[in-house]
Amino acid sequence: MKLKIFISSRNNDTINIDGTIGESLTDIRLWLKNELEIIKIFDKDFLDIRINETFGATTTLGSYNECLDEVRKSDLIIALYNGVAGWAPTGIELGICHSELSTALDISMRKTAIINIEKYFKIKPTDKAEEKRNENFKKYVEKLNRFTNPLKVTGKQTNDNFKETLLKSIKTVIYNHLGDRIKISNNYYNLSGNNKTSLDWKKLKYSDRDKLITNKLNFLISNSPNFSKFIAKAFSIPDNMSVEDAKSYTGRPFLKDQELVPKGKNSGPIHFIGVYGSATEIQVKNLIGFPDISAIRDDFGLYVWEQNTHVQLVFLVDCKTPEAIESNFLLFNNWCDSTGEFENIKKRAEARSHILKAINEAKNIATKK
C-alpha cells in the first residue's frame, strides 16, 4: 500500500547560486528519494520514489519510453522545472522532461505538480536543437499557467538550504495531494450509490431525474462568475449515455442555437449536459452526429468543440446527486482556469454568436416578402 511518486527533472545540471556551483540534480534526487522514503505511517513505509537513476534510464529511445511508462504507473508526478526540456532521441522533438510532464497532465492534472527551480540554474544549450526544445517546453508550461509555484529559498541561499527547501516543498505537495485523495475518496463513497440521496435518485423515472439535473445545472450556471455571462443551456441524459431513450432528453441541442441568440451582445450558446451515468468520447461524437470534433476528457467528463461552427458542449458525468453535479461543475471551472482554456472558450462563444446572427439575418432575407 505505497504511494508511487515520480520525480521528473534533468540529471546532470548543477545548482548555480550566485556563481557557486552545487550538486547535480541527480545527486539531489537521490538525496530526496532517501529522505522521503524513510518517512513512515503507522510504522509502515508508504512512499515509493521513482527516479530514472534507480530504474536504469539511459539516453535511448527504449529508455525514453520507459520513463513515460513510469509516469503512467505513478500515483503522483512532481516535475522540477529548471528551464531545460531534456534530451530527445533522434526524430523526436520533445525533450524527455517535456514529454514526461505532458504525459502526466494528459492523465490527470490532479496527479501532477510543477515546482519551478529555474532561478537556481544557469544553463546554456549545447546546440540549436536543444535550444528549440527548451523554448517549446517554456511556452508549454507558460500556456498552462503553471509558473505559480516557484521555489523560494529563505535565508542564505546555499546548496544545503536549496535541498532542504525543495524537500519541504515536495512534502507540502505530497501532503496536499493526500488531502485531495481523501476528499475524492469521500466523494466517491458519498456518490457511490449507498447514501439516501443517490438511492432516491436511482428510483426516479427519467423525467424526474431530467428535471432535477437540469434545475441544478441551471442554478450553478446562473450563479457562476464565468458562465453566467454566456448564453448557456442545461440538459440531461438521465442514464448512461449508451441508453438511446436517455439520450433523447438532450438530442442535438445545437441545431436550435439560432433561436437562443438575442439581439444584444450575449455570446454563445454553451450547452451543459449532466449525464447521470457514464459517457465515452465515441458516444459523444455519435450524439453530435459527426466524428471530426475536438473532445477533451478530464475529471469532470468531456468538453467538446466543433472547430468550424464553434459549437461547444460540456458533458458532466456521474451526476447522481446534487453534490456530484456541483462537484463536476466546479472541476470543469477549475480545468478552464488551470489550463487557460477559458479564454479560448470565450472566443469560441463569441464566434458562435456571430455565426448564428448571420444565419438569422440570412433567414430574414430569404423569407422577406
- H/E stretch holding 274 reads strand 267-275
pLDDT per residue rounded down to tens, the chain (369 residues):
789 999 999 888 999 988 889 999 999 999 999 999 999 989 999 999 999 877 655 555 577 888 888 999 999 999 999 999 988 877 788 889 999 998 888 777 778 899 999 999 988 888 898 899 999 999 888 876 555 677 888 878 888 999 999 999 999 999 988 887 887 666 656 555 556 667 788 888 999 999 999 999 999 999 998 898 888 889 999 999 999 999 999 989 898 888 887 665 578 899 999 999 989 888 888 888 877 888 888 888 999 998 889 999 999 998 988 888 988 898 898 888 777 788 899 999 999 999 988 888 888 888 887
In 3D space, the residue among 22, 27, 35, 85 whose CA is nearest the CA of residue 53 turns out to be 27
Altogether, the residues listed in the chain come to a count of 369
Which residue type, as a one-letter code, is found at position 62? G
CATH architecture for segment(s) 3-183: 3-Layer(aba) Sandwich (3.40)
Which pLDDT does position 127 carry in this prediction? 86
CA–CA distance, 263 with 357 (Å, rounded to integer): 8
Which pLDDT does position 293 carry in this prediction? 86
Give Cβ neighbours of residue 212 (< 8 Å, ≥ 6 apart).
201, 204, 322
Do residues 2 and 24 touch, judged by C-beta distance below 8 A? Answer: no
Which pLDDT does position 169 carry in this prediction? 93
CA–CA distance, 350 with 352 (Å, rounded to integer): 5
Q: What is the pTM of this model?
A: 0.62
CA–CA distance, 267 with 317 (Å, rounded to integer): 25
Domain ranges of the chain: 3-183, 200-365
Let me know how many helices (H) and strands (E) the chain has, helices first: 11, 13
